[in-house]
């Protein structure tokens, strides 16, 4: 595991303390009694969690970000990993499940991350975050159109959503295009990535904010999932 972490640190030109902090994070996940992620073995987590999070650094918008909001942070992937890799960036971990927030708080202290804030709540109910972020990240959170709706109000104009996804079905892709158009976001683009051997088909989907968020967004909590923005043919 240490060898693999060293490879990742070299690949992404990380500071010398990064591998130690990643080891600590994986150990914290393994020791956590609450169910915060399905992959808890550090030997698996080094790829499934750490490498899969770091792959976002292949996008310049992530590597150059100064304010990042990670939605549905869960066990801290990718948010805590990016906070380690980008010590000059402020990283907000947005999580609505109390036990996961408690874990994120403990992990941030254990990793001595002064650049992390844990936001206990939903993205739609976080007025302090509106229009403040260069990048919003989301990994395995929701259909892409729903994630676009969560992200758009939090971004500065010119900021970008980066979402980890597998292959999109035609319905999800059409809905994402429709959501982007309704939210003053650019049509989503995808970049295939290979974070680790055997990762399967993975892509980073990214969309930049091209104008002010339209009136009426964010909608009240839960509406993005209950009544998602859809392509007209799927209404």
Q: Is residue 12 classed exposed, middle or buried when 0-12, 13-18 and 19+ CB atoms within 10 A define those classes?
A: middle
Residue extents of the structural domains in the chain? 2-234
Helices (H), the chain: 2-11, 18-31, 42-45, 52-54, 60-63, 79-85, 98-110, 144-151, 170-182, 223-226
Q: Confirm if 156 and 129 have CB atoms less than 8 A apart.
A: no
Closest listed residue to residue 141, CA positions, set 199, 106, 100, 178: 100
Superfamily of domain 2-234: Vaccinia Virus protein VP39 (3.40.50.150)
How many residues are there in the chain?
235
Closest listed residue to residue 134, CA positions, set 182, 184, 177, 91: 91
90-95/67-71 β-pairing: parallel
pLDDT at 199: 87
- From first to last of its 235 residues, the chain has per-residue pLDDT tens of 889 999 999 999 999 899 999 999 999 999 998 889 988 999 999 999 999 999 999 999 999 999 999 999 999 999 999 999 999 999 999 999 999 999 999 999 999 999 999 999 999 999 999 999 999 999 989 999 999 999 999 999 999 999 999 889 999 999 999 999 999 999 999 999 999 998 888 999 999 999 999 999 999 999 999 999 999 755 4
């Amino acid at each position: 595991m240490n060898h693999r972490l060293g490879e990742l640190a070299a690949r992404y030109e990380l500071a010398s303390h990064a591998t130690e902090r990643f080891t600590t994070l994986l150990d914290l996940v393994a020791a956590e009694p609450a169910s915060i992620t399905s992959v808890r073995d550090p030997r698996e987590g080094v790829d499934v969690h750490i490498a899969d999070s770091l792959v976002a650094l292949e996008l310049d918008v992530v590597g150059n970000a100064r304010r990042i909001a990670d939605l549905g942070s869960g066990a801290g992937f990718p948010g805590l990993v990016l906070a380690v890799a980008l010590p000059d960036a402020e990283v907000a971990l947005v999580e609505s499940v109390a036990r996961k927030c408690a874990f994120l708080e403990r992990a941030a202290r254990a990793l001595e991350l002064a650049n992390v804030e844990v936001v206990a709540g939903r993205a739609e109910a976080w007025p302090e975050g509106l229009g403040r972020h260069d990048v919003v990240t989301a990994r395995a959170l929701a259909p892409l159109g729903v994630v676009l709706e969560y992200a758009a109000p939090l971004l500065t104009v010119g900021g970008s959503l980066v979402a980890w996804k597998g292959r999109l079905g035609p319905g999800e892709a059409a809905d994402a295009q429709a959501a982007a158009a309704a939210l003053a976001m650019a049509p989503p683009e995808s970049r295939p990535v290979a974070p680790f051997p055997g990762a399967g088909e993975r892509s980073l989907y990214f969309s930049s904010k091209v104008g002010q968020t339209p009136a009426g967004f964010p909608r009240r909590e839960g509406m993005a999932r209950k009544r998602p923005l859809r392509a007209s043919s799927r209404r």
